[in-house]
Structure 1
Amino acid sequence: MPARTEGPMGIFDDYDTWCENGSICHRTVSNYIGETKGNATYGNSNGVIGTFDVVLRTNLNGRQAQWKVSLIRDTGPSLQFFNVQVNCWEEINLLPDNSCVVHGAGAPFVSGRWNSSTLFGNRLANSNEYYGAVNGGFTPSGDPAYPLGTLEGAYFNCYGNDNCYYP
C-alpha cells in the first residue's frame, strides 16, 4: 500500500507548487476527491537532463472513479509522452491485484503543462479497496525514450453497496 500523506488544499490549483520537495505525495481534498503527485527526474551518465510532475486526481462518484492526469514540465527540454494510461486496480491481499479497467489518457507533447480529459471508470461492484495508477513513457526532445514509472494513487474504500470514499 502506498504511503499516505496529506497537505492543505489551496483555493487555486497548486499542482506546480504543492509537494515540490518530495518524491510522491497524497492528499485528500474531500471524502470523495484525492490527489497524488509524483516528482520525476531523468538523466543519463552525464547527470540530470530534466524534471517534471505527474498528478493523478481521483473523483469518486458513487461507485465509479473518475480520473484526470496532469503533466507539468519543470526543467529540461520539451517532452513527448506516449501511451499514458490510468489503470484501475482492486486491492487483493496476498495475491496480485485485479485490474478494473485501463483508460488511455493520450500522447501529449508538453512544453509547459497538459491536463487530460476526464477518464470515466467502470462501476466498482466488489466490496474492497481500490486505487488508480498512471504509467506510460516519454521522450525528451533530442534524447531517447524513457519509461514513465508507475504512480499509484491513494487507496479508496468501496465496501458493501455504499458509495466509494477516502478513509
Structure 2
Amino acid sequence: MTTKAMAAPPVPVTTLTKARDVHNHEVLTGWLTARRNRLNPTRKKEKEMTTHTTLTGATITDEQLQALALELVNIQADIAHLKEEAAKIEATLKALPNGKYTCGDATLTVSHPRRFNEKKFVETYPVESFPQFYQTVRKVDLKTLAPALKDQFAEDSTARLTIR
C-alpha cells in the first residue's frame, strides 16, 4: 500500500475548491517531497558555487558573501572597542571643572548640567508634606482649541530648524 501511495500521481490542484484544501495539499506535497529526499538521498555535486543578486543588481558569490560577512563582524567588533575607549576618555574629560580648554585646533568646553530635576524634587519633597513649595497652575488645553485660535495667540518668533 505504501508503494502504491508513493507511485500515485499527485492530486490536480484544479480540483481543490477551498483554501483549506489548497493549504493541506501544499503541506502534504512538501512533506512527501522531504520524505522522498530522505529515503532516496542524491549525491550533491562538489560544493556548487551559488550566486546571490543584491537589490542593486550586483551579483555576489558565496565566497564573497562569507568574506563580506566576516569583514562586517570584524568592523563591528572594532567599533564596539573604540566606543568603549571613547566612553572612558569622555568620562575622564567630563570630570574636569567647568570651563573652556584649548587643545591644539580644537576647543573643549566642559559644562556640568544645572537643570532642575522636577521628578527628583517631588520624590524628596512630596506635595502633601511641603505644600509651600507648590502652587496650582492653570493651563490651556490646546487640543480643544480651534486652529484659528492657536494661530491668533501663537508667539511671533523665528522658526526653528532641526538637522539630524
- TM-score where L is the length of structure 1: 0.17
Larger % of helix: which? 2
Q: Which protein shows a greater Rg? A: 2
- TM-score where L is the length of structure 2: 0.18
Larger % of strand: which? 1
Q: Which has the higher contact order (CA 8 A, sep 6+)?
A: 1
